Amino acid sequence: MNKFITLLLTIGFFYGATQAAQAGNPDRQGEAGAAQLLLNPWAQSAGLHSMSTSFVSGVESMRINVAGLSRIRKTDVTVGHARYLEGTDIALNGLGIAQKVGESGAIGISLMAMDFGDIRVTTTEQPGGTGATFSPAFFNIGFGYAHTFENKISVGILFRGISESIADVNAFGFAIDAGVQYVTGPNDNFRFGISLRNIGSRMEYGGEGLTTQGPAPDGDSYELTYNQRVADFELPSMLNIGLSYDFLIAGGTHRITPLANFTSNSFSEDQIGAGLEYSLNDMFMVRGSYRYEFGSNDADTFDDPIYTGLSAGATIAVPLGKDEPAEGNMPAKMAPRFAIDYAYRNTRVWDGTHNIGIRISI
């Protein structure tokens, strides 16, 4: 009963927070900034279009549903790289560490940075380029904590700092993510998750790059320096709701997990999707999914989503030792694992997005 009450209170919190944060609709599409918060550098969850809200765990949970942070054995280290929209020369790089704290809690830190390459500096006098280059610096860093109650309900919260800058203009903001996962069933087969992401402060650009020289208002020959006004912008807040079920075959040697996910976006159309993951002894996994955005099949395709339709991925995990079987009251203990993940997501323009990642689970 206490677990049920806790779950109801948690869902109530998310519903209330969502109603307070849900200030947008499709008519406001494009008004939010910090779009880097919507990008995913992690390959395992990217293969499911980031729809693994109900069962994501470890480092990747800090991008999808932070409640899964505590569902690790001891330590999880993940490195991710993505070639975003193949052909644009934009890359995403991620690094994260999750560490168990006590028997039921875990803390984690994750960092994601965007690499835009070298962009030519152009001016009105030299539209072909001055010979100089610049590269924007976009990154965000998150600190999360999650706790699991009786191995059934996990609750987590994450604080994130967001930075976007070039040499003479910058913006900085803060965001909070929160999430819950609920596990039940005879073998913990059924999983349900809710996550609320990117709730935070408005951001505004500032710096010397926003100043300009102009004539004095009284008509004198000297010039004055003026500061240009800039508009602030909100963060792309969203609510994810997902569920999944593990079908265990041959004593768990084979696992087939269908999943479904709904995403409510404050500044764009809502999305719905489904996927499937197959696992062989947690050593080889393949996955695929399809995501649909409401309103994307109308006559005007200009504002259609970049990611349309299918995504797919695979994982190869190699044990770094021998698993220890259960003995007496002692549960089975899995050996540390080294894993390589890959994912591909189809895009409406360009040549898709490729993700690759390396994970070490101890």
What's the pLDDT score for residue 326?
52
Q: Cα separation of 121 and 271, whole Å?
A: 38
What's the pLDDT score for residue 307?
81
Exposed e or buried b per residue across 177-213, where buried means at least 16 C-beta atoms within 10 angstroms of its C-beta: bbbbbbbeeeeeeebbbbbbbbbbeebebeeeeeeee
What's the pLDDT score for residue 349?
84
What's the pLDDT score for residue 9?
47
Scan for tokens 């991008």, then name that residue: 63
Pick the CATH number of 2-208+234-361 from 3.50.50.60, 1.10.540.10, 3.40.50.2300, 2.40.160.60: 2.40.160.60
What's the pLDDT score for residue 328?
53
Task: Find all residues with CB under 8 Å of 322, minimum gap 6, and list them.
Answer: 335
CA distances from 148 to 3, 244, 277 (A): 11, 18, 24
What's the pLDDT score for residue 220?
66
What's the pLDDT score for residue 124?
86
Both structure tokens of 317: 């995990």
Residue 353 · residue 81 · CB < 8 Å: no
- Spans of all domains in the chain: 2-208+234-361
With 0-12 / 13-18 / 19 or more C-beta atoms within 10 angstroms meaning exposed / middle / buried, residue 106 is buried
Tens-binned pLDDT, residue by residue, of the chain (362 aa) = 455 445 544 555 554 554 444 433 566 666 788 999 999 999 999 999 999 999 999 999 999 999 999 999 999 999 999 999 998 999 999 999 999 999 999 999 999 999 999 999 998 889 888 989 999 999 999 999 999 998 899 999 999 999 999 988 999 999 999 999 999 999 899 999 999 999 998 999 999 888 888 787 776 667 777 788 888 999 999 999 999 999 999 988 999 999 999 999 988 889 999 999 999 999 999 999 999 988 776 545 556 678 878 999 999 999 988 776 655 554 456 788 999 999 999 988 889 999 999 999 99
What's the pLDDT score for residue 11?
52
Encode the chain in three state secondary structure.
CHHHHHHHHHHHHHHHHHHHHCCCCHHHCCCCCCHHHHCCCCHHHHCCCCCCCCCCCHHHHHHHCHHHHHCCCCEEEEEEEEEECCCCCEEEEEEEEEEEECCCEEEEEEEEEEECCCEECCCCCCCCCCCCEECCEEEEEEEEEEEEECCCEEEEEEEEEEEEECCCCEEEEEEEEEEEEEEECCCCCEEEEEEEEEEECCECCECHHHEEEEECCCCCCCEEEEECCCCCECCCCEEEEEEEECEEECCCCEEEEEEEEEEEECCCCCEEEEEEEEEECCCEEEEEEEEEECCCCCCCCCCCCCEEEEEEEEEEEEECCCCECCECCECCECCCEEEEEEEEEEECCCCCEEEEEEEEEC
Both structure tokens of 355: 């993700």
What's the pLDDT score for residue 8?
47
